[in-house]
Structure 1
Amino acid sequence: MNEKHERIPIFFAIDDGYAPFLSVALASIIQNASREYMYKITVLHQNLSKTNQERLAALGAEHVEIQFVPMENRLEGITDRIGNRLRADFFTLTIFFRLFIPVMFPEYDKAIYLDSDVVVPGDISELYRTELGDHLLAAAADHSVAGVPPFVDYIENGVGVKKDQYINSGVLLMNLKKMRESRLEHRVLELMDTYHFDCIAPDQDYLNVLCNDRIVYLPPFWDAMPAEAAEPIENPKLIHYNLFAKPWCYDHVQYESYFWKYARHSGYMKEIMNCKELYGEKERQSDRECLELMLERAKAIAAAELNFKSVFNSGREKRL
């Protein structure tokens, strides 16, 4: 690997079932990323099989190195250092793992985190070159929920931020140095241990609450999400198939052509097509029920006496 070029760290996290979809994200990054940089892609995983590790690693290129790190090993070390104050099991920590990247990887001062349900038709190095200054992170506002009244109510009255300032945490440019200085992971754990907030999107909500005043807002083309009520973004640089809008589950998903373009180069096309063929009415009904439950929870949390907004507005807690 050529060491003369700056190295850009990129993080993903998956379990074994998500390997086929991560392969599409990797294929798109590798095809479109500038050769002026080297890329160190770290896949944090829970029980990712050796076979899938080998197949995903095979996608690497001269300018892209892919490594695999078991989440259990790193998170155990973190919980030991903080006294394991969380009254929860290991699964709770895996939900919040991206918040721990700063302390898990102290060798980096800046990094990209991406959910695995993305494709990147743009040059990912452009995202990395975004200036952060003293801000903790850069992310795009979550426009996919802006037209859903119960979610807007949840954002403004449950989380306590303006709807146009509520970010989606599936695409993050993280100022790891400033996050370490702010002790982000300690603040998250303290809040969890003290209040046990009910959340719709736990890691996303904690980032929105704690970092709200220290976020660089990215243009929407860095986190284009399918939305039936909105026109598609022209020439998106990154597409995020958020929530249920997965082209490997449904037909006629906005931006689906991008996914299938890179799926053909992923090495997992057979598995992806099989997944779609098996996704039937039972699974779609489950999605509908899940969405209804989310909407009901959103309403309940927004109306609750104890939520992020009530605690932070009272002055009991402060943002970073």
Structure 2
Amino acid sequence: FAQCMVDTLEALRVYKRARGVSTSQLHCYLPCRAMGTPVAFNPKDPSDERFDGLVGIGDDEFQAMRTGLTELMAKVFGRILAGADAETVYRTWRQATLPLVARDEIERRGYPRLFMKAPNPAREPRARRADRVQISFAFDRNLVGFIPNVVRSIEANTSHGMTYHLLTRGLTSADMDAVQNACPDAAIQWHTMDYWLSKAGRGGLVEHTTVSTMDRCALPNLLPQIDRIVYLDVDLIVLGDVGELYAWPLGDKSLAAVTAFRLGVWLEGSARLSSLGRERAEQLRHLRAAASVAGPLQGPAFNAGVLLMSLEAMRRDGFTAQAEKNFEAFGYDDQTLLNCYAGGDYAELPQAWNVDYRTYFRTDAEPAKIVHWKGRMKPWHSDAKNHHAMARTLELWERYSA
């Protein structure tokens, strides 16, 4: 600790003696400006939420910020140095920041929501056992060869009748014939999606995905005659009866999914879009605020690879049009958009319905009903056997290969 303090003081002396500094680092910019050293702040990603309120501010704004923080610290440290107990210190902080929180809440309410929902959502009737189970996949030519594995796993573990809605991009008639021949008993309906989002680019999609991942957001309008559907990614195997998932009670919720992380963590990464950040940092700051209006950003969020969707409720909310608008404006991917739409308010499925392959062999977990190869590594990759967790689960994938 002592050496760290010595190094820090030496760095401050260097900053103080400098004629001028140009930096992309916050920990260099702030002390330079505080000590009066001329400094140019050029962050690589201005949309980074750590820089909110710091990029491009003038001397008066900086001084107001410094004065406000100094006054807050003086109140709190005054209590600490006077020997106050922890509860008194926390109470002092809450009282001192109460006006700031109230001001922020008023400002936040002024932002438009990313998604508007219809008032008084109706409770959706539970799916009847006699209903055919509606299932959807979205993919392009990169993944068409792996659809039969997933379909075979579904058919092998259910007694329900299935209808598969395949949302595709770039497929040829030969590709479609190959899938149908590999699954001769499957009732398949094909939906070509090349027209949708054709001019929107990639936005903030992660590197190992394509725009096909967005197509699940089109389902409410694409299938107006269907009230609910199970959406599944292609990189998974179904070991349970998907009819149980299809019949899961939604109540007044639009979605059912397995909770996987906190929404704030996901938004923090996906809002920092290199394609937009350099040009629209202020717009993205407003976007984060708008996303927070829907619900607590530190609330639960889900992986969108396994979903039960109330298409009727999502149509009523106008979800597809709003998702398209937000993707084109901000580049948010399907998973982020769906989580922003839900705002933490969704029917939670048991973990067994979306088990990460890396945790499949945990002995303390409920037996998996769906095993999902999330992330970059997939079971069809040539080097899959070289990865320990992947190698242990390859048998599941290969079990349903031709």
Identify the residue that residue 65 of structure 1 maps to in structure 2: 187
Identify the residue that residue 131 of structure 2 maps to in structure 1: 6
Say yes or no: does 1:114 pair with 2:232.
yes
> Structure 2: which amino acid aligns with 1:122?
G
Distance 1:153 1:105, change over 3 A: closer
Identify the residue that residue 26 of structure 1 maps to in structure 2: 151
Q: Which has the larger Rg?
A: 2
Q: What is the TM-score of this pair, normalised by structure 2?
A: 0.53
User: 1:27, 1:262 within 8 Å by CA — same for their partners in 2?
Assistant: no
Distance 1:28 1:133, change over 3 A: same
| Percent pairwise identity | 25
Write the distance in 1 (CA, Å) between the matches of 2:340 and 2:190.
30
1:186 deviation in Å?
2.4
Match of 2:306 among 171, 174, 181: 171
1:53 deviation in Å?
1.6
DSSP-derived class of the 1:6 partner:
coil
Write the distance in 1 (CA, Å) between the matches of 2:174 and 2:371.
27
Distance 1:113 1:90, change over 3 A: same
1:8 deviation in Å?
1.1
Distance 1:247 1:262, change over 3 A: closer
Write the distance in 1 (CA, Å) between the matches of 2:268 and 2:176.
41
1:44-101 CA distances to partner (integer Å, 9 max, x unpaired)? 1112233332222124365x3123221125x3xxx8xxxxxx9725999644211110
Q: What is the TM-score of this pair, normalised by structure 1?
A: 0.65
Identify the residue that residue 215 of structure 1 maps to in structure 2: 346
DSSP-derived class of the 1:166 partner:
strand
Unaligned runs of 5+ in 1: 80-85, 268-320
1:260-288 CA distances to partner (integer Å, 9 max, x unpaired)? 34534433xxxxxxxxxxxxxxxxxxxxx
DSSP-derived class of the 2:343 partner:
helix
Match of 1:88 among 200, 203, 214: 200
Say yes or no: does 1:225 pair with 2:340.
no
Q: Report 1:1-320 matches (<5 A).
A: 5-33=130-158, 35=159, 37-60=160-183, 62=185, 64-72=186-194, 75=196, 88-89=200-201, 94-143=212-261, 154=269, 160=292, 161=296, 165-192=300-327, 196-197=329-330, 199=332, 202-227=333-358, 231=362, 233-249=365-381, 250-251=384-385, 252=387, 254=389, 259-267=394-402
User: 1:121, 1:236 within 8 Å by CA — same for their partners in 2?
Assistant: yes
1:205-242 CA distances to partner (integer Å, 9 max, x unpaired)? 01111112431111111111134799474420001111
> Structure 1: which amino acid aligns with 2:192?
P
Write the distance in 1 (CA, Å) between the matches of 2:372 and 2:220.
23
DSSP-derived class of the 1:172 partner:
strand
Write the distance in 2 (CA, Å) between the matches of 1:134 and 1:28.
31
Distance 1:224 1:70, change over 3 A: same
1:156-200 CA distances to partner (integer Å, 9 max, x unpaired)? 99665556611111111000000000111222234445xx3354x
> Structure 2: which amino acid aligns with 1:102?
P
User: 2:152, 2:400 within 8 Å by CA — same for their partners in 1?
Assistant: yes
DSSP-derived class of the 1:113 partner:
strand
Identify the residue that residue 299 of structure 1 maps to in structure 2: none
Identify the residue that residue 289 of structure 1 maps to in structure 2: none
User: 2:253, 2:347 within 8 Å by CA — same for their partners in 1?
Assistant: yes
User: 1:118, 1:241 within 8 Å by CA — same for their partners in 2?
Assistant: yes
Write the distance in 2 (CA, Å) between the matches of 1:101 and 1:136.
13
> Structure 2: which amino acid aligns with 1:52?
D
DSSP-derived class of the 1:96 partner:
helix
Identify the residue that residue 39 of structure 2 maps to in structure 1: none
Distance 1:109 1:242, change over 3 A: same
Distance 1:151 1:191, change over 3 A: closer
> Structure 2: which amino acid aligns with 1:189?
E
Computed over aligned residues only, the root mean square deviation of the Cα atoms, in angstroms, reads 3.5
Q: Which moved more, 1:151-160 or 1:21-30?
A: 151-160
Write the distance in 1 (CA, Å) between the matches of 2:216 and 2:321.
13
Write the distance in 1 (CA, Å) between the matches of 2:134 and 2:193.
17
Distance 1:28 1:259, change over 3 A: farther
User: 2:139, 2:213 within 8 Å by CA — same for their partners in 1?
Assistant: no
- Higher RCO (C-alpha under 8 Å, 6+ residues apart): 1
Identify the residue that residue 54 of structure 2 maps to in structure 1: none
DSSP-derived class of the 2:308 partner:
strand
